Amino acid sequence: MNPDALAEALLSVAAPLLEARRPGAGEGLTAADFVFERPKNRDHGDWASNAALKLSKAAGTNPRELAAEIAAALAETPGVASVDVAGPGFINIRLDAAAAGALAREIVEAGPEFGRNDSQLGNSINLEFVSANPTGPMHIGHTRWAALGDAIARLLLASGAELVREFYINDAGAQMQRFGRSVLASAKGEPTPEDGYPGAYIDDLAQRVLAARPDLLDLSQDEQEQVSLDLGYELQMADLKDSLEKFNVHFDVFFSERLLHATPADGGPSLVDQAVDRLRVQGHVFDLDDAVWVRTTDFGDDKDRVIRRSNGEYTYFAADAAYYLNKGDRGFAHKIYLLGADHHGYVHRLKALAGAAGDDPEKDIEVLIGQLVSVNGARLSKRAGNIIELDDLREWLGTDALRYSLARYPADSPLTLDPEVLQKRTNDNPVFYVQYAHARTHNVARNAADSGVARDAFAPELLDHETESALLGALQEFPRVVAFAAELREPHRVARYLEELASLYHRWYDNCRVTPLGDEEVTDLHRTRLWLNDATGQVLRNGLDLLGVSAPERM
């Protein structure tokens, strides 16, 4: 019996009790009004509810008296072993072993689908993250949002959202010209331009450009610069995508900023031109000193923003506006931006932009800021010179250790990773601890098969050991953890849940045998425990997958 079933049972007894005390008091009450929590002390039962405290006023009685009436009625529900009242009116529910144990089979049969839910059903979301400039390699500054952004996407998709992972390529503007000139200078054997990009990666790109275009230095100066820019950009983007894929991060869309400024084939206005006109229609654009402004202070921004300067040039805000409007045009009702620690100023700006576009800044847009991450002992890249590259970190620490560790903490807290811990094959290393629990479930299953234990019988009423009750209780929580983590955009809740589940599994393993000892006969208890073992492995696997971390079968 899961919390949803309990909520329905509680509704079926609470609504009539309210009606009997005060006609109409139970009208409009639904199962969604009841929330169940796991008691910290397992002696208090499997589930606890504060329903009586919430409903007592409507019932016109004190909470404890109402709780006693609800408890008496709820105790008659099939699958409920006992119901007690604690404190001022908390209702503690204990399930019978068969009702609790039935979950093991449910999980095994659901497989990868267990934990998926519909809490985000109907939400159309554009999730933009990483969005590194295509002028250099992926580095440690991008790593945290790469891991967290992808995990948030997996959580939202598992919770029923329609979602696209998007990478915004900042490939317009002066930095691209500097990038192209830097590649060309290296190809010619000349020093890096004063405002250019240094690093061995530029030399590498230059050699690859020369390999693709042996005639490069025979072209005119303008052609040399354009070819160096175009080919260098293409090669650098390929490297960025390769780094992300190796980090187990996939993007559905790579959106080029150039598209915002491009003139359509019909010669009409660009998306940036259109953005100014569309915001003006909304009534939040005004002209002052020959410049065009957006009155973003109407929506909480600290100052109004120039969208087109007096010389006719667009500001970065213009591209932001065109990009935001384009996301809506593509059908995304909700936009999530995951930005780095140096982008705090964008929060009010983007929310004000949503308001100026006619959207609800509190509903249609989210701007999440990730704090800095550092790694003790990490060396600067030999290729880039002044950064720590993602590829170097991944090869040093491993994708699993790096992704799990980055997902294990809230994004808004600064984070320093300890490579000594992450490389340990001990319980001190959280990712090893969880992965080892998963591998152990497979080892138990292999040993069971060798001993003739199969899942050809299931007697959930036999799962009555205290460690089995605790383990089943944790397994039951997984769908709610997934839904809650998706709602809050907090993958660390899944990581911490997996560590707790691993701990409960190891404790169960130490107390309950799946395979018989010596000449002991195989019984239905062994077979049923195999179901519980495999269910735990499935949930560990599902949870690790949500974090983009592998679930090895042997360690």
User: For 410-437, what is each residue's pLDDT tens digit?
Assistant: 999 899 999 999 999 999 999 999 999 9
The pLDDT assigned to 205 comes to 97
Comparing C-alpha atoms, which of 84, 67, 92 is closest to residue 13?
67
Tokens encoding 121: 């059903």
Distance CA(339)–CA(341), nearest Å, equals 7
Domains in the chain: ranges and CATH? 3-95 (3.30.1360.70), 124-170+250-373 (3.40.50.620), 174-246 (no CATH), 424-546 (1.10.730.10)
pTM confidence score: 0.91
E-state strands within 57-100? 80-86, 90-95
The residue whose two tokens read 């010389």 is: 311
Distance CA(422)–CA(249), nearest Å, equals 20
Comparing C-alpha atoms, which of 146, 138, 161 is closest to residue 548?
146
The pLDDT assigned to 385 comes to 67
Residue 479 CB: number of other CB atoms within 10 A?
22
Distance CA(146)–CA(393), nearest Å, equals 13
Comparing C-alpha atoms, which of 387, 388, 421, 422 is closest to residue 403?
422
Q: Contact at 8 Å (CB) between 135 and 150?
A: no
User: For 303-321, what is each residue's pLDDT tens digit?
Assistant: 999 999 999 999 999 999 9
Q: Is 241 exposed, middle or buried (0-12, 13-18, 19+ CB in 10 A)?
A: middle
Q: Directed axis angle between helix 430-450 and helix 524-546, to 10°?
A: 150
The pLDDT assigned to 511 comes to 97
Tokens encoding 549: 């971390």
The pLDDT assigned to 378 comes to 86
One-character DSSP codes across 518-531 = TTPPP-HHHHHHHH
Per-residue pLDDT of the chain in tens (555 residues, 90 and over written 9): 778 888 999 999 999 999 898 898 888 899 989 988 888 777 788 899 999 999 999 889 999 999 999 999 999 999 899 999 999 999 999 988 898 999 999 999 999 999 999 999 999 999 999 999 999 999 998 999 999 999 999 999 999 999 999 999 999 989 999 999 999 999 999 999 999 999 999 999 999 999 999 999 999 999 999 999 999 999 999 999 999 999 999 999 999 999 999 999 889 999 999 999 999 999 999 999 999 999 999 998 889 999 999 999 999 999 999 999 999 999 999 999 999 888 888 899 999 999 999 999 999 999 999 988 999 988 777 676 678 999 999 999 999 999 999 999 999 989 999 999 999 999 999 999 999 999 999 999 999 999 999 999 999 999 999 999 999 999 999 999 999 999 999 999 999 999 999 999 999 999 999 999 988 999 999 999 999 999 999 999 999 999 999 999 999
Distance CA(26)–CA(117), nearest Å, equals 28
Q: Contact at 8 Å (CB) between 529 and 105?
A: no
